[in-house]
């Protein structure tokens, strides 16, 4: 066999390896959360858009929920507005909410729609406000006052959490063969605009759609144990244990809480994977080796 023939066969084997996954998931929905950190690199953005268009081309319905934390931060800095975080959530006053909506629903949402178009797909950019898709309620947080040791309310301003997701607009876009691209902004029943953490938004959308997969693309290989080794499979009970023994900390806590909520509310499985790896999603999904950490509900 010549080198050329071997290379061709290897390509055919990759396609054949994907066959059972294609058969199993054709017509199903994948919700993909694309974070703001990953967007800084144009090559990675192009790869991401290609992956999304490829999923659509093989009969899977991708629904993209995007972040934009670093981009909101940069715009606030340009405007001279200070930004602070509590438990990974941006404290959002009226001015910050306006900037968050402008950056998320305006700049980033349309940029992503453009990348998908450049990769040959048709995307429709919307926010949770459109079509009454995502209703939000104000997030309530408390913390112990260090002096009195009394639990006190912390006001995060217009930070919301989804209370109801109406999937009609998403279903309509998918039925028209479009790829929905969703900004994490919601409308409160009080008439205010709410800034929603993008992981939380993606989890709520995945649960409402009964998605086959929720992909959370981040900047680590997946969930790591204390020695730094990748944990390839987890359940809510396993996650609770890792939280209790301090293996999971920082930004990984809300991310995994989102996964637990999504798999317990109707999403088949959630995957935390490395968005810095080119075509990470395709490698995870279409190969038997997988990548990242797969989270399924406890049986
Ligand atoms: N056990 C763990 N495994 C992997 N990452 C962890 C773990 N515990 C904490 N982390 C931290 O969580 C981070 C991912 O969360 P975050 O920074 O909020 O991601 P993103 O900005 O992509 O939403 C990782 O970069 C890592 O620093
Ligand atoms: C309430 C809250 O914190 N909202 C986030 C929304 C964007 C986001 O979550 O973006 P990443 O996924 O890129 O971090 C924010 O204002 O930064």
CATH at residue 210? 3.40.1160.10
| Percent residues over pLDDT 70 in the chain | 99
CB of 184 closer than 6 A to ligand 2? Answer: yes
Other residues' Cβ atoms within 10 Å of the Cβ of residue 243: 16
250 CA → ligand 1 middle, Å: 6
Residues at the binding site are: 68-69, 90, 195
Q: Supply the pLDDT for residue 289.
A: 66
Residue 255 Cβ < 6 Å to ligand 1: yes
**Side-by-side strand order, sheet with 123-127:** 123-127, 179-183, 61-66, 29-34, 213-218, 269-274, 293-295, 233-234
Q: How far is the CA of 18 from the centre of ligand 1 (A)?
A: 29
The answer to whether residue 144 sits within a structural domain is yes
So what's the pLDDT on residue 118?
97
Judge whether 7 lies within some domain. Answer: no
Q: Are 30 and 22 in contact (CB under 8 A)?
A: no
Residue owning the nearest CA to atom 5 of ligand 2: 197
Q: Is residue 171 part of a domain?
A: yes
Residue 275, ligand 2, Cβ within 6 A: no
Q: Is 279 left (phi over 0), alpha (psi -120 to 50) or beta?
A: left
For residue 226, give the ligand 1 atom closest to its CA. 1
Distance CA 134, CA 166 (A): 6
Q: Is 200 in the pocket of ligand 2 (CB under 6 A)?
A: no
Please tell me the number of the ligand nearest to residue 256's CA.
1
Q: Is 201 in the pocket of ligand 2 (CB under 6 A)?
A: no
The DSSP call for residue 292 is S
In a domain, 18, yes or no: no
**Chain centre distance of CA 272:** 9
How many domains, in total, are found in the chain? 1
pLDDT tens-digit profile of 247-275? 998 888 889 999 999 999 989 999 999 88
Q: Cβ(127)–Cβ(170) under 8 Å?
A: no
From residue 112, give the alpha-carbon distance in Å to each of 38, 49, 145, 174.
12, 8, 42, 17
Helices 42-57 and 109-118, axial angle in degrees (round to 10): 60
Which atom of ligand 1 sits closest to the CA of residue 223? Answer: 3
Q: Which domain holds residue 241?
A: 23-295
Q: Is residue 5 part of a domain?
A: no
11 contacts: CB under 8 Å, gap ≥ 6: none
Window from 154-163, 232-241, 276-285 with minimum mean pLDDT: 276-285
User: Percent of the chain scored above 90 by pLDDT?
Assistant: 72
Helix (H, G, I), strand (E, B) or coil at 287: coil
**Phi, psi dihedral angles at 248 (to 5 degrees):** -100, 125
> Worst-scoring range by mean pLDDT, 79-93, 107-121, 160-174?
79-93
Query: Global pTM?
Result: 0.93
**220 CA to centre of ligand 1 in angstroms:** 7
Q: For ligand 1, what atom is nearest to the CA of residue 225?
A: 1
21-30, 116-125, 269-278, 286-295, range with the lowest pLDDT: 286-295
CA of 178 to the centre of ligand 1 (A): 32
Whether 44 shows a pLDDT value over 80: the answer reads: yes
How many angstroms from the chain centroid is the CA of residue 212? 14
ipTM score of complex: 0.95
Q: pLDDT, tens digit, for every residue of 65-92? A: 999 999 999 999 999 999 999 888 999 9
Residues 6 or more apart whose Cβ sits within 8 Å of residue 57 = none
Q: Is the pLDDT of residue 293 over 90?
A: yes
Is residue 159 within 8 A of residue 92, CB to CB? The reply is yes
Residue 271 Cα to ligand 1 midpoint, Å, equals 13
The answer, yes or no, to whether any atom of ligand 2 lies below 6 A from the CB of 35, is yes
The CA distance from 174 to 124, in Å, is 10
245 found inside a domain? yes
Does the residue 205 lie in any domain?
A: yes
Helix or strand holding residue 221 (H, E): none
Q: What is the DSSP letter of 275?
A: T
Q: With a cut of 80, say whether residue 299 has pLDDT above it.
A: no
Q: Does residue 14 sit within a domain?
A: no
Alpha helices in 168-298 (DSSP H): 168-175, 198-209, 236-244, 252-264, 280-286
Q: Is the dihedral of CA 93, 100, 44, 211 positive or negative?
A: positive
What is the mean predicted confidence (pLDDT) over 114-126?
Answer: 97
């Amino acid at each position: 066999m010549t080198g050329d023939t071997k290379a061709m066969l290897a390509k055919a084997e990759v396609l054949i390896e994907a066959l059972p996954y294609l058969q199993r998931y054709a017509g199903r929905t994948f919700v993909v959360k694309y974070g703001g950190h990953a967007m800084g690199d144009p090559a990675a953005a192009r790869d991401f858009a290609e992956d999304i268009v490829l999923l659509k081309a093989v009969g899977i319905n991708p629904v993209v929920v995007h972040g934009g934390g670093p981009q909101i931060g940069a715009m606030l800095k340009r405007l001279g507005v200070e930004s602070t975080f509590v438990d990974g959530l941006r404290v959002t006053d009226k001015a910050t909410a306006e900037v968050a909506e402008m950056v998320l629903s305006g700049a980033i949402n349309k940029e992503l729609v453009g990348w998908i178009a450049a990769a040959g797909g048709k995307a429709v950019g919307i926010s949770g406000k459109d079509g009454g898709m995502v209703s939000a309620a104000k997030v309530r947080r408390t913390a112990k006052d260090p002096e009195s040791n009394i639990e006190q309310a912390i006001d995060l301003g217009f930070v919301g959490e989804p209370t109801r997701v109406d999937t009609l607009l998403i279903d309509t876009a998918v039925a028209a063969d479009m790829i929905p691209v969703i900004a994490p902004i919601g409308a409160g029943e009080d008439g205010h605009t709410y800034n929603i953490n993008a992981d939380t938004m993606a989890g709520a959308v995945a649960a409402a759609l009964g998605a086959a997969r929720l992909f959370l693309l981040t900047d680590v290989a997946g969930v790591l144990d204390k020695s730094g080794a990748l944990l390839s499979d987890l359940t809510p009970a396993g996650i609770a244990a890792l939280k209790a023994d301090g293996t999971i900390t920082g930004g990984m806590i809300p991310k995994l809480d989102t996964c637990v909520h999504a798999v317990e509310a109707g999403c088949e499985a959630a995957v935390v994977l490395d968005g810095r790896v080119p075509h990470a999603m395709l490698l995870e999904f279409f190969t038997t080796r997988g990548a990242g950490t797969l989270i399924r509900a406890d049986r």
